[in-house]
Each structure stands twice: as structure tokens, then as C-alpha cells.
Amino acid sequence: MFLKREIKNIMKKSYSRRNGYLETLQKGLVVLGTFENKFSLGKGSREERIELLKNEIQNADAILVGAGSGLSTSAGFTYSGERFEKYFFDFIKEYGIIDMYSGGFYPFPNDEIRWAWWARNIYFNRYVKASKPVYDELFLLLKDKDYFVITTNVDHQFQKAGFDKKKLFYTQGDFGLFQSVNPQIQKTYNNEEWVMKAMEAQGFVKDKNGVFSIPEGGEILMRIPAELIPKCPDDGSDMTNNLRIDSSFVEDEGWYTAAEKYSEFLENHKNMHVLFLELGVGANTPVIIKYPFWYMVMENKKAVYACVNYHEAFCSNKLEERSICIDGDIGEVLGEIYKKIEEDI
């Protein structure tokens, strides 16, 4: 339902600049409209597929990475379980919230509590580096290649790993940005300073590595002072996260610039040997990455499609001969490939 509304909203907009997001949605819709519902899990043994992907990474003229939430999950950014229970134990006890994602939609009784929730959610999913070196390994594999990244992730982990900001397109927003609820204000605001103050106000303390943690006594507040509730510096209106949840999402200057660069990358490599490397993309929003990748590989006979995901690695049966599908933990797969490349040197 969300995806249908999202596509309608995008198609209604009038864009004066090249927009890679619009172009990629249009490609995805073509695949969606001609879909035969025939999939392939790929060909060859796991070892053969790993070797094929290694060779493609080494030999492709360019690599386009399409990253979904599965990549961050592999890196340790889980929204439930031990990590969630450690930092949100009080919200679990008081409101019965089951994970970080659903908590974002909970009707908290007031803004002091709601923004305490969001301060923690933003901090631990944006300002903390992932616990596993998955993004770092990906960067080591790609840093000397001609690459670009399109991602629906909002956690900033690509830049933390060293990826060039000019080669990244965060289509769905950034946990590090706020936007005004006033639709007339079409810009975003960095929230780092506010997040740090809100974490301190709840009683979190920084450890020896400079990372906020729960104090020894385990006592933290589940609210922030009213004066800390974020307000728009331009007109004093309420603020919200710069996340694409409906048509109010602000596509700021940085977003448009990234959309243009994505479009330029596609145009400049149209008939080249391109590896379309899809990592951790599920079935929730296939029109943004998965289906457009299939479309572009079908168009370009020199291109290769690779999909690495845990229990969701598949391709269109039409692309089976030029696809590499690897079912497994992304971090483990990237680690194996990096090790093989190191052994070849």
C-alpha cells in the first residue's frame, strides 16, 4: 500500500532537474507491469558463485551497488533482540514495544517521551558505527573501482566506512536530518547537536570510546525536558525526521544533487560492463532497487546482476545466465571474497 502511494506521489511531481530516483522508479514499474512471476535462485555451487562474484568485482568496468536493510542487519544493526532490549528496556516495560521500527509509530502520551524515544533511536542507528565490519569490507572491495551506491538505508554507515559522499544516493532520507512540519520549508537540518543533548538529558553517559551507554546504576529517564523538544529554527514550527514515510518528505538540495549524480552514472555507463550488485534488498520496496536493476541488466547485454541476501537471493528467470545469486550472510560472503582476492595478490 505504501509503495503504491509513494509511486503516485512521485509521478505527480514536476522535476526541473534530472532525477535518478524518478527514472529508477519508472524502470521498476516497467518490470512490474511485464512480470511473469518466474524466478531463479541462480546456477552453480556456492563456491562457484563466490568465485564468479569475485571475478566480476575485479573485472567490471563499473559497479552499481543497491543496498537495503539486510546489509545493515548483517553489520549488526538489528532492530529487535539484545541490542533493542539493552537500550530500550524501559520503553519495553512501560509500553510493550517489541522493536525499534514499530516504536516509531507508537502513540506516546506526550512529546517529551516521544522525542526521548527518537533521540535513542537516531543515536544508536545513525551516530554509532556498526559493530561488524561489513561496510568496511565492502569499501575495501570497491574503493579503487568506478562505483556508485543507491540505498534505502538511512543509517549513514557508508560514509562511516569511508565511501565518497559524492557517490552515494540515500533515496529515503537520513536519520541525521530533521525537517519542518511546515510544507513551505523545503530544507533539512542537521540534528547531531540536538541528539547528543537529548541523550545526556536522559542520563546516558559516554564510555571510554566516546559512545553513549547506560550508567552503572542503570537509571535513565524516559523523557527529555520540554525546552529540548526540537523546533524549526526558521519559523518555530514542530520538527520531524527526514524519512520518506509519506508525501511530506523533503527532498532537499543534497537529495537532488545525489539524484542527478545517480542519473549521470547510469547514463555514462549505459553500454559498459557494469556489475549491478544488490545487497540486502528485500521484497518491501523492489521498485526502487531490485526491479530497476533487472531492467537495466536486461537492456545492457554486457551487464551482470548479483544478489546477495539471507534467504532472499533470487533473480528473474530471464536473467539467470547473467546473474549471481548467493543466499547467505552478506558479511560472510564479502569476507570470503576479500580473502580470495588477497590470496591472489
Are residues 317 and 274 part of one domain?
yes
Tens of pLDDT, residue by residue over 51-107, are 999 999 999 999 999 999 999 999 999 999 999 999 999 999 999 999 999 999 999
- Which is it for strands 304-309 and 323-327: parallel, antiparallel or unpaired? parallel
Are residues 166 and 146 part of one domain?
yes
Beta carbons within 8 Å of 260's beta carbon, 6+ residues apart: 17, 18, 19, 20
Separation CA 121–CA 155 (nearest Å)? 11
CATH of the domain at 335: 3.40.50.1220
Are residues 218 and 304 part of one domain?
no
With respect to residue 40, please indicate whether it lies within any of the assigned structural domains.
Answer: yes
With respect to residue 58, please indicate whether it lies within any of the assigned structural domains.
Answer: yes
With respect to residue 178, please indicate whether it lies within any of the assigned structural domains.
Answer: no
Are residues 324 and 287 part of one domain?
yes
Are residues 340 and 307 part of one domain?
yes
Beta carbons within 8 Å of 301's beta carbon, 6+ residues apart: none
Are residues 92 and 66 part of one domain?
no
With respect to residue 25, please indicate whether it lies within any of the assigned structural domains.
Answer: yes
With respect to residue 109, please indicate whether it lies within any of the assigned structural domains.
Answer: yes
With respect to residue 179, please indicate whether it lies within any of the assigned structural domains.
Answer: no
- pLDDT at residue 279, rounded to an integer: 98
With respect to residue 187, please indicate whether it lies within any of the assigned structural domains.
Answer: no
- pLDDT at residue 233, rounded to an integer: 97
- pTM (2 d.p.): 0.93
Overall average pLDDT of the 261-269 stretch: 96
Give SS3 for 203.
Answer: coil
Are residues 340 and 278 part of one domain?
yes
Of the CA atoms within 13 Å of residue 336, those in its CB half-sphere come to 18
User: Which amino acid, residue 78?
Assistant: T
Separation CA 326–CA 306 (nearest Å)? 8
Instruction: Answer yes or no: is pLDDT of 14 > 60.
Output: no
Confidence of residue 217 (pLDDT cuts 50, 70, 90): confident
- Give whole-number Cα distances, 149 to 67, 141, 278, in Å: 7, 13, 10
- pLDDT at residue 12, rounded to an integer: 55
The residues that bridge with 306 in the sheet, in sequence order, are: 277, 324
Confidence of residue 284 (pLDDT cuts 50, 70, 90): confident
- pLDDT at residue 218, rounded to an integer: 85
The residues that bridge with 327 in the sheet, in sequence order, are: 309
Are residues 213 and 153 part of one domain?
no
Are residues 157 and 50 part of one domain?
yes
Are residues 261 and 291 part of one domain?
yes
Question: Measuring CA to CA, which residue among 187, 302, 199, 287 is closest to residue 242?
Answer: 187
With respect to residue 177, please indicate whether it lies within any of the assigned structural domains.
Answer: no
CA dihedral 276, 280, 284, 285 (to 10 degrees): -30
Of the CA atoms within 13 Å of residue 121, those in its CB half-sphere come to 21
* Relative orientation angle of helices 192-201 and 111-122, to the nearest 10 degrees: 110
User: Which amino acid, residue 108?
Assistant: F
Separation CA 201–CA 118 (nearest Å)? 13
Total of domains in the chain: 2
Contact 228, 200 (CB under 8 A): no
- pLDDT at residue 22, rounded to an integer: 85
User: Which amino acid, residue 76?
Assistant: G
Residue with more model confidence, 178 or 285: 178
Q: Which domain holds residue 314?
A: 2-74+132-172+250-344
